Amino acid sequence: MGQSFSELGKQRLLNRITINDIAAVILYGCFSIYLYLPSARVNHAQIFYAFNAMAAAWGAYFLSKRWINNWTPSLLAGTAYGLGPFALSFGVFHPLAGLSIVMIPWLLLPSVYFRRGKSPDAIRFCIRGLLALLPFAGIIFLFWTSAQQWSGPFFLMPRDIGMTVKDFTNLILPLHNSGGSVVFGLPHCSFIFALMGVFVYLKLQRIALLLPVAAGLILSVWEPVFQVSPIVWAAFPILFLSVLCGLGFQALLYAGKADTKW
């Protein structure tokens, strides 16, 4: 009875974070350090890049657990997103630009976990739809804030970088370089898992999940909106494909003789 609401909230949060979750962030952190801090001379930008990669991967890991029950596939989903070629490409821009990649999976968590396990109804659908706007608002706020005089201003990245038809070839042909500064693709080994994940997703028929993905894809080929570089919005389909990687990997782990048709 003497516990405050804040103490109860902290206790519930700690109860939801498992040893596997802590192990995942440790692995992401070690991999990020290996990628960005290879030498003895370390600057603040490298530390920020490493943090962005680790945080983005951990966010995608938690997001994937909404549909994935196994730890290893969720670990793969986080790796494909936060430590994949797309997120690592942001290392050529201002370190703050990577926060846009970080906030997408974290700000999508309220939407995908709201009233989880409850029977679907119109209220849940509408509230989840509104919560799905959080990462869009967060990215717009980040770029707007960085452009203000009182905050710097900071030049995060060029505003004319957007998706082209050539960029999509990086997804199908991982070893092909389209020449762009940002690589729209997945790690080489995870593409086959994403392909398997597509079939699993079609079986699940979760059409609403495609709405933010489609919005991000459209904005990535559009003109800059609210001073946001179009390529940033491509993180939404990359996140979706990363979750498909984990979903496909889980399907292969659980596959038996009855699943030979897949």
136, 215 Cβ separation under 8 angstroms: yes
Is residue 217 assigned to a domain? yes
Contacts of 161 (CB under 8 A, 6+ apart): 180, 181, 182, 229, 230, 231
Question: Which residues partner with 77 through β-bridges?
Answer: none
For Cα atoms 75, 231, 153, give the angle at the middle one, nearest 5 degrees.
105
In this predicted structure, the answer to whether residue 233 has a pLDDT above a threshold of 70 is: yes
pLDDT band at 217; cut points 50, 70, 90:
very high
Tokens 């990535």 correspond to what residue? 220
pLDDT band at 104; cut points 50, 70, 90:
very high
Contacts of 182 (CB under 8 A, 6+ apart): 86, 89, 90, 161, 167, 231, 234
For Cα atoms 139, 21, 92, give the angle at the middle one, nearest 5 degrees.
40
Is residue 261 assigned to a domain? no
Is residue 138 assigned to a domain? yes
Structure tokens given for 129: 């739809």
pLDDT of amino acid 123? 84
**Number of domains into which the chain is organized:** 1
- Smallest CA-to-CA distance from 219 within 110, 90, 133, 108 is with 133
35, 52 Cβ separation under 8 angstroms: no
pLDDT of amino acid 10? 46
Grouping H, G, I as helix, E, B as strand and the rest as coil, residue 143 is: helix
Give the residue numbers spanning the domain of 173.
5-254
pLDDT of amino acid 9? 46
Lowest mean pLDDT segment, chosen from 30-44, 134-148, 166-180:
166-180
- Can you say how many angstroms the Cα of residue 15 is from the centroid of all Cα atoms in its chain? 24
pLDDT of amino acid 150? 80
Is residue 259 assigned to a domain? no
pLDDT of amino acid 260? 57
